[in-house]
Structure formats: C-alpha cells, structure tokens
Structure 1
C-alpha cells in the first residue's frame, strides 16, 4: 500500500454521529486505499469474493466472514464477486456502559471466519431496521452493538489458541513468502529453506488459516500483480517479467484464474 501520509481520509460517519448502520454497497469496482479516522467499522459479508487489504495484510474474502477495522487503519477492497452484507460504524464512546464488549473489541482479530451466520446476520438486520426507523433509539443501537461484539468474541478464530510451534512455523513461512514470492514458486522450495517439510507447512496453514501452503504463495503473487497494475504504468509484459513468469500469456492465465479478470480488465476497473 502507499505511504499512510499519502492515503486520503474518508469520513463516512458524521461528526455528531456515534453509530451508523448500512448495507454493504453491492459494487465490484476496486476501491483506492483510504482510512477512516475516529471510529471502528465492522463488516459482515454473507456473499462476495476477492481481497480486502488492511494496512499491509491481504485477506481473501471467503464468505461468510466479518472484518474489523480500527480507527486510522488503511484499507481497500478488490472484489471479484458482488458483495452482500452489512457495515456497522461506531465510535468507542457508545460502549461506555458495556465494559465487557469494550474490552473484547480490542481482542478481536481483523478477520473472523463464521461457521453459522444466521444469528449474527439477524442482529445486523435488526440494527439496520432500528437505525432506519423513525423511532430510532440510540440506546437500542448500542445494545445491539454490545450483542454483536459479544457474539463475535465467541466466533473469533484467535490464533493464540493454536499450537505455538505451528504458529511460529506459519509466521516464518509467511514472512519468507513475502520476501521471496517472485523467485520461489513451489512449497517444496520454502520447506527446504525453512528446514521443514511440505506436509508440515500445509498442516500449519490449513490449521490456522483454512488454506494450503500453495495458496499463500499464489495470493501473494496476485496481490503484487494488483499493486503493480494499480500503482504503476508498467505493461503486462513488464509485470510478468517482474514476477518471474515465463511469458505474458502465462501471467495473464494465472491472474485471470485467481481474479476472474484479465490484467487489462482489472486495470480498466481502477
């Protein structure tokens, strides 16, 4: 992402507001990196696919899920399928009478995978209806928010619950992928560099993230390709060379298979 000093600040909640609820905009066009200052944002997605970049981490959108944004974080969306869900924005002050939820809010991970979405989806829908009602009660909205945070805490896939050895291997692997994704494309190459095995790497990734080790490499390559398409004027051939593809056609096939778009069409959306 760009330097945070260059990132525009968006105010989607009015100065006088403490809480706001809306449906997720059902658009597929990539958003530019931006940040929201002074309020939290909880996004519940029932449908959709693509990537959500928060600060320097890219999260694949595998619905149903919840993403949490803290004040000042930089983020952008890159959907390949129309998103459907809810957005709940609020200032920390609304939790002044809900100490447990206030504490748990800071313990939540940026991404929470959901096994059962029905209860949370109902709470978001009830919050939206209350927000849109002519008899809108702030206290009712605060109570719904309290329930949502407590439910999210129950769903949270906090990685600290995982085996420390598994986590150490996962973090080391992801760090190496981030450094070597252009020239190392095979899981076996990373396993050798980490004095591990492909089986152990796959197990660590599957246990903590629900995806295999090869997917981690491909996601990082796709992210870099999108950054180059988004932030530079390099040609597709030049990008293919930077990413160590044998030729541009192989890069185009790879990119389309993971995004549903050719590099040219992706760039046209920006």
Structure 2
C-alpha cells in the first residue's frame, strides 16, 4: 500500500489545488493510480462527463456524469478506471477546511448529483480555481480565509441531501460537539483504547452520554463506532500489507493474536487469515 503525501504543485502554497482527471492521467504515465494508495490529504472529485470506476475501503463504485467522490485522509483507495473520465479534482490539506469536519464522518466515498446541482458544483470549482490562479500570479491578492470559504461552499453545495430539520433534529444537534470530541478521540487513540469507558474518562463524559451522542450522529452506538474503526484499520492492514497477523494485532493494540482473532471473527464471521486470503491483494475476491 503506497502512502501518498501532499506535495503541492508550484504556486500552490495554500494547501488547496485544482486539477483534472486528464491532468492526473498525464502525470501518472505508469498508472500508479490503479494501485491501492493511502493519502494524507483530501481529494474531492466531480465527474462532468464519461464513465469509470473507483474503489475505497473495500467498496466499489461506478462513476458516471454527476458522480462526486470524496477521499478523506487515511482512506485506502484506487482509481481502478478513469481513462474516460472528465472533470475537476480538488486536493486539499485537512487544515484548509477546519470548520467542516462532521460531514466527513457520515458522507459516503461516492454519491450522485443531479444535473442542476452538478452544474452549480462545477461553477463553485471554477470560482475556487480562478481565485487560486489569482493568488499564484499575484500573492498580494491571496486570502487563505477566502479560499477556505470557497472550498467549504463547494463541499456544502455537493454534499448529499439531508432531511429537513425537525424539532427532534434540532434537539439532537446538542450532541454534535460531544460526538465530534469522541470521534476525534477514537481517531487518535483507537489502537490504545478499545473500551468506550477509556475515552469517556479522558474526555470527562460518562459512557451513556457518548453513546447517545454517537447514536444521534451516526445511527450506531459508541461501542459499535469504536469497533468499526478498529475493524477498518485491521482490514486495511490485512489487505494492503504483508505484515503477519500477529504484527497487525500488535499494531492495533491487542495483547495477543488470540484476542485479535476473536474480535475479528466476531465482526466479520471469519478469522483474519481467511479474510486476507479472500480480500487481500492476491486474493480472488480483492476489490482494491
């Protein structure tokens, strides 16, 4: 699995840049894009025309006009077929979008926009691109705050529809900050703390509070949310590295391989070695 770090193009000094599928293909003559990779930055893409396919964290997606793709840092993905795709890709560091973190938790890697929303989203990308070009040519015109707002406007324009707010959802919004705090703790410490109580104690909440907030935000409880994060990383390690199962277990914070095997079997219905043989890079059922 290739770790991909953000390397800005010449003149892209604000942690945001816009390119196209055509530019990606021209820069990648060895087609490394078709192999699993794990970026440490965001990639947001819109398909203006054409068809193709993309795979992210063991899910395959068919791409067509109006497809939106959001690859978040840490996702393992590959552009399995973008030879006929046309449209923009926006690359940005996490700090370029500081105020819009919650949608990244529940938004799928790929969804579909109707014609009107696609047109508006493409205009938003064009506006962002114009400002980036102006900032590169005339540094005194550069405004990181403006670029961040334009990026946020693009993401908000393209996000999947959500239900209209009700009294219940307005009430539930009080749990949002609690969940964000818990989510950040899980992301930072999931290899160390496998129990919700560990996070609750560190954050100053009780387990029930974290469970209510997580269920409101994601539809699942705090324990299931934590287990799914551990499981996702386990799948990534098994499928995309050649590390022995015991080594994977230790990297994920399990005291011994037996405990890890029990956890993995309970979550997936099969032991880690069987899952790796089925879904790993050399397995017949591999999707990445």
TM-score normalised by L of structure 1: 0.50
The aligned runs of 1:195-206 (5 Å cut-off) are 195-206=204-215
In 1, Cα distance between the equivalents of 2:177 and 2:201? 16
Partner of 1:147: none
| Aligned: 1:8 with 2:33 | yes
Q: CA 1:225–1:73 in 2, change beyond 3 Å: closer, same or farther? A: farther
SS in 1 for 2:204: coil
The yes-or-no answer on 1:107 pairing with 2:156 is yes
Equivalent pairs, count: 181
Equivalents in 2 of 1:247, 1:71: separation in Å? 46
How far did residue 237 of structure 1 move?
1.0
The structure that is strand-richer by fraction is 1
- Partners of 2:117 and 2:157 within 8 A in 1: no
Q: C-alpha deviations, 1:29-63, integer Å up to 9, x for none?
A: 9469x997x964269xxxxxxxxx942377xxxxx
- Partner of 2:242: helix, strand, or coil? coil
Partner of residue 195 from structure 2, selected from 164, 186, 194: 186
Report the counterpart of residue 41 of structure 1 in structure 2.
67
Match of 2:183 among 151, 167, 174: 174
Q: CA deviation at 1:186?
A: 1.3
Q: Secondary structure at the match of 2:156?
A: coil
Q: Give ranges in structure 2 of 5+ residues lacking alignment.
A: 7-27, 36-47, 76-86, 92-109, 125-152, 281-288
Q: CA deviation at 1:257?
A: 1.8
Distance 1:169 1:236, change over 3 A: same
Query: Is the partner of 2:255 in helix, strand or coil?
Result: coil
What's 1:240 paired with?
249
Structure 2 SS opposite 1:178: helix
Match in the other structure for 1:153? 161
Alignment of 1:53-202 (within 5 A): 54-56=71-73, 72=89, 94-95=115-116, 106-107=155-156, 153=161, 155=163, 163-202=172-211
